[in-house]
C-alpha cells in the first residue's frame, strides 16, 4: 500500500457551511486518517498481510499514526520519518445527514519519494495507491507492482489529470461517481489505458466496467449511515484484501461493498473500519 497518512481533525454540525458562512459545531475529535492509512488499515482488518509506504513528520501526530499501524498489525517499516516537516492533516466537517467536506494539508506526504516505494511495491501481490502523494511516487509504485506481476489498483482521489503512461499501469481504477466525471468519464479512462474501472456510487452500490462494454452492478448493503467519511477508503482496502486472498473480481467487489457499508455506520475514518468477522457476518446475513 502506498499513500498518505494524516491526522484527521473532525467537527460535527447540523449542516456544512456555504462559502463565507460560519456554523456552530457539536463535537470535535482527532483520528488517524489519510487515504493511504485508511485503506491499509481497512485491508489489514479485512485479513490481509499489509505493508505501508508513507511519509510522516517527527511530531506527536506521527506517533499517533504509527501507534495505529502497530495496533492493526500493519508493517510500518517502509514509513519515512522526516524532521522539520509536519505530518499531514485533514480538516473534516460532518453534517447531520452524514455528508462531509474535507480539506487536506499534505505536509510530509508531499515528500514521499519514488525511490522509497519501489522496493516494497515490487514485493506485493496487490499494489494499491491514491493521489495524495506525488504522481511520480504513484507511478513508481504501480510500475514496480506491474513488473513483479502484482495486481495494480489506483484510487484516483483527489481527481486530477492523469496520463496514459500512468493509467496503462492500472489493472483497476476506482473513482467515485464525481471523480469519474472530472476524469472525463469511463470511456476516457479506457482510452488512456485502464484495464477495468469500478465506479463507486455511495448508497447505490458500485458498477464494474470493462473495456468490452460490459457493466456489472454491485448492490450496496442497506445500513443506517451516520458518517460517510471513510466509506470509499474502506471499499478500496476491502477490495484489495479480497483480491489478495484469491477471490474473483465480483466476489471482491461484494466484499468491498460490505466493508464500506459497515464503515458508514460509525463516526470517523480509521475508527469506523470493520473487522473481517464483521464483514463476513454482513455478507452472509439474510437479505
Give a yes or no: residue 1 inside a domain.
Answer: no
Would you place residue 41 in the very low, low, confident or very high pLDDT band (cuts 50, 70, 90)? Answer: very high
The structure's pTM equals 0.90
- 51-65 pLDDT, tens digit per residue, is 999 999 999 999 999
- Domain holding 182: CATH number? 3.40.1190.20
Range of the domain at 257: 6-283
pLDDT per position as a tens digit, 151-208? 999 999 999 999 999 999 999 999 999 999 999 999 999 999 999 999 999 999 999 9
Res 121 pLDDT > 90: no
* CA separation for the pair 206, 204 (Å, rounded): 7
> Would 100 be classed as within a structural domain?
yes
Provide the 3-class DSSP secondary structure of residue 74: coil
The DSSP code sequence of 177-212 is HHHHHHTT-HHHHHHTT-SEEEEE-GGG-EEEEETT
Q: Where are the alpha helices (DSSP H) in 17-106?
A: 35-45, 60-71
Which residue has 511495491 as its cell numbers? 121
- Model confidence at 242, in pLDDT bands (50, 70, 90)? very high
Average pLDDT of the chain to the nearest whole number: 94
Averaged pLDDT, 260-264: 96
Residue burial 152-191, b: 16+ Cβ < 10 Å; e: rest: bbbbbbebeebeeebbebbbbbbbbeebbeebeebeebbe
The average pLDDT across 28-47 equals 94
CA atoms within 13 A on the CB side of 214: 7
The percent of residues in the chain predicted with pLDDT above 90, rounded, is 84
Q: Could you tell me if residue 39 is inside a domain?
A: yes
Which one, of 137, 140, 141, lies nearest residue 124 by Cα? 141
Instruction: Give tens-digit pLDDT for 63-91.
Output: 999 999 999 999 999 999 999 999 999 88
> Cα dist. 150→40, 102, 143, 161, 212 in Å?
16, 32, 10, 24, 23
Q: Indicate the number of domains in the chain.
A: 1
For residue 287, pLDDT beyond 70: no
Hey, which residues are catalytic here? Answer: 233
The distance from CA 228 to its chain's CA centroid, rounded to whole angstroms, is 13
How far CA 37 is from CA of 150, 197, 281, in Å, comes to 20, 22, 24
First-to-last alpha carbon distance for the chain, in angstroms, is 33
pLDDT beyond 70 at 126: yes
Residue 268 lies in a domain: yes
pLDDT(100) > 80: yes
- pLDDT band with cut points at 50, 70 and 90 for residue 140: very high
Residue 225 counted as domain residue? yes
Q: What is the pLDDT of residues 194-218, one digit of tens each?
A: 999 999 999 999 999 999 999 999 9
What pLDDT score was predicted for residue 77? Answer: 94
Domain annotation covers residue 256: yes
Q: What is the pLDDT of residue 8?
A: 87
Amino acid at each position: 500500500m502506498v499513500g498518505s497518512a494524516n491526522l484527521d481533525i473532525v467537527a460535527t454540525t447540523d449542516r456544512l457551511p456555504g462559502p463565507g458562512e460560519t456554523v456552530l459545531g457539536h463535537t470535535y475529535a482527532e483520528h488517524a486518517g489519510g487515504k493511504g492509512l485508511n485503506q491499509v488499515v481497512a485491508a489489514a482488518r479485512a485479513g490481509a498481510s499489509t505493508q505501508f509506504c508513507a511519509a510522516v513528520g517527527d511530531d506527536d501526530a506521527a506517533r499517533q499514526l504509527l501507534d495505529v499501524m502497530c495496533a492493526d498489525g500493519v508493517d510500518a517499516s517502509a514509513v519515512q520519518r522526516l524532521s522539520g516537516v509536519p505530518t499531514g492533516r485533514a480538516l473534516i466537517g460532518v453534517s447531520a445527514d452524514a455528508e462531509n467536506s474535507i480539506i487536506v494539508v499534505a505536509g510530509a506526504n508531499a515528500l514521499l519519494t519514488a525511490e522509497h516505494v519501489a522496493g516494497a511495491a515490487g514485493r506485493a501481490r496487490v499494489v494499491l495507491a491514491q493521489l495524495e502523494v506525488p504522481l511520480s511516487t504513484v507511478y513508481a509504485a504501480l510500475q514496480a507492482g506491474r513488473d513483479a506481476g502484482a495486481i495494480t489498483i489506483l484510487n484516483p482521489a483527489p481527481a486530477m489529470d492523469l496520463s496514459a503512461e500512468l493509467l496503462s499501469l492500472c489493472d483497476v481504477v476506482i473513482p467515485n461517481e464525481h471523480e469519474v466525471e472530472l476524469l472525463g468519464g469511463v470511456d476516457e479512462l479506457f482510452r488512456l489505458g485502464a484495464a477495468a474501472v469500478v465506479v463507486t456510487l455511495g448508497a447505490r452500490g458500485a458498477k464494474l466496467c470493462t473495456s468490452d462494454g460490459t457493466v456489472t452492478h454491485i448492490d450496496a448493503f442497506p445500513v443506517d449511515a451516520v458518517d460517510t467519511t471513510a466509506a470509499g477508503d474502506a471499499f478500496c482496502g476491502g477490495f484489495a484484501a479480497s483480491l489478495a486472498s484469491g477471490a474473483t473480481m465480483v466476489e471482491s467487489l461484494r466484499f468491498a461493498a460490505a466493508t464500506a457499508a459497515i464503515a458508514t455506520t460509525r463516526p470517523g475514518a480509521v475508527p469506523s473500519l470493520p473487522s473481517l468477522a464483521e464483514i463476513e457476518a454482513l455478507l452472509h446475513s439474510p437479505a
